[in-house]
Amino acid sequence: MLGNNKKSALGRGMESLLPKDFDKSILTSENERINKVSIESIQPDKNQPRKEFNQQSLKDLSESISVHGVLQPLIVTKPVNGIYTIIAGERRWRASKLANLKTLPVIVRNEEERNKLEIALIENIQRVDLSPLEQAKSVYELHKNFNVTYDEIGKRLGKSGKTIANNARLLQLPKEAIDALNRNDITEGHARSILSLSETPERQKELLEFIIKNGWSVRQAERWVVALKKIGLDSKTAHERIKTENPLTKKLGNIIEAPVAVKRTAKGGRLEISFKDEEDLKRIIDKLI
């Protein structure tokens, strides 16, 4: 098992990611906080960065809303001249218009509440004691509920938008991998290798089993993925390429009386010879030449 067994907050809701002194009442969605308002009295935020919406995705959501209704209330600002501005949920609003809904469930928040929550989530992402999945959860909440782009989050945290987006992708791991990451049976690096096989869930499960059963390093997991995706090997042959020792390395090791390992790459690899000190290195070189 990798690292200490740390109890994760993932799965206990966004409240577990917020400071203890934070007013959690603004997160609640009890019936008394949900209002139904005319869809015509709601407008999108003209300053929100997201401008393009996949039309097929909107149509699919519209069909679901026609059958099941809007399951998650929109978050809106207090009305100005009778008009509410969307803080979170523009996609649901657009799909609801396609479904010809007349009213929508909303939770009304003022700008101060919105800012307090956004700041609390940013502070959480900066905490050093958060697990990778807890960080991913905070990033996702900011991106989804406040329409903050990954690039914008990255600027606030001093990281690239690509790094932030990759962190959020951890939530797309299969349940078995999420559980393993929570238990520290695998690392974030292992998790990214598993994510890279998202088009083949059976391979994701297989890689997870190999990592845990064989104690593979992140590099070994990456080499297995490369062997599958770039070289096109089958799982068994890819597994063989991960081995750092074979009859030939053993033979060479016996000749030079030193450990020899092979590390394969997509187009070849390298031999690694271990030595104890400078004197041992000189002895090995003398044997080789």
On whether both 21 and 163 belong to a single domain, the answer is yes
Q: Which domain holds residue 258?
A: 247-288
The pLDDT score that the predictor gives to residue 104 is 93
In degrees, to the nearest 5, what angle opens at C-alpha 34 toward C-alphas 31 and 35?
125
Look at residues 186, 234, 188 and name the one whose alpha carbon lies nearest to residue 210. 186
Q: Is residue 7, in this structure, part of any structural domain at all?
A: no
Average pLDDT of adjacent 10-residue blocks, the chain of 289 residues: 49 51 46 78 75 80 92 85 86 92 88 67 68 84 77 85 90 94 93 92 93 89 81 58 70 83 70 86 86
Helices (H), the chain: 55-68, 90-98, 111-126, 132-146, 150-157, 161-168, 175-182, 188-195, 201-214, 218-229, 235-242, 247-256, 278-288
Rg from Cα positions in the chain? 26
Which tokens go with 199? 């088009």
pTM above 0.75, yes or no: no
The pLDDT score that the predictor gives to residue 130 is 73
What is the total count of domains within the chain? 3
On whether both 52 and 167 belong to a single domain, the answer is yes
Neighbours of 239 (CB within 10 A): 16
Q: Is residue 84, in this structure, part of any structural domain at all?
A: yes
The pLDDT score that the predictor gives to residue 28 is 46
Residue 269 near residue 247, CB atoms below 8 Å: no
Rounded to a whole number, what is the distance in angstroms from the first to the last CA of the chain? 42
The pLDDT score that the predictor gives to residue 257 is 87
Residue 96 near residue 59, CB atoms below 8 Å: no
On whether both 165 and 180 belong to a single domain, the answer is no
On whether both 217 and 262 belong to a single domain, the answer is no
Task: Answer with the one of 113, 142, 171 that is the final residue of a domain.
Answer: 171
Q: Please confirm, yes or no, whether 111 is among the known catalytic residues.
A: no
The pLDDT score that the predictor gives to residue 20 is 52
Task: Answer with the one of 116, 141, 171 that is the final residue of a domain.
Answer: 171
Long-range contacts of 238-247 (CB under 8 A, 24+ apart): 239/210, 242/210, 242/216
The pLDDT score that the predictor gives to residue 141 is 78
On whether both 202 and 111 belong to a single domain, the answer is no
On whether both 236 and 110 belong to a single domain, the answer is no
On whether both 39 and 80 belong to a single domain, the answer is yes
Identify the active-site residue in 90, 113, 141, 206: 90
On whether both 40 and 150 belong to a single domain, the answer is yes
On whether both 123 and 180 belong to a single domain, the answer is no
In degrees rounded to 5, what are phi and psi of residue 26?
-75, -10
Q: Is residue 1, in this structure, part of any structural domain at all?
A: no
On whether both 226 and 253 belong to a single domain, the answer is no
On whether both 127 and 208 belong to a single domain, the answer is no
Cα–Cα distance measured from residue 119 to residue 132, given in angstroms and rounded to the nearest whole number = 19
Domain of 32, CATH number, reads 3.90.1530.10
On whether both 63 and 162 belong to a single domain, the answer is yes
The pLDDT score that the predictor gives to residue 73 is 87
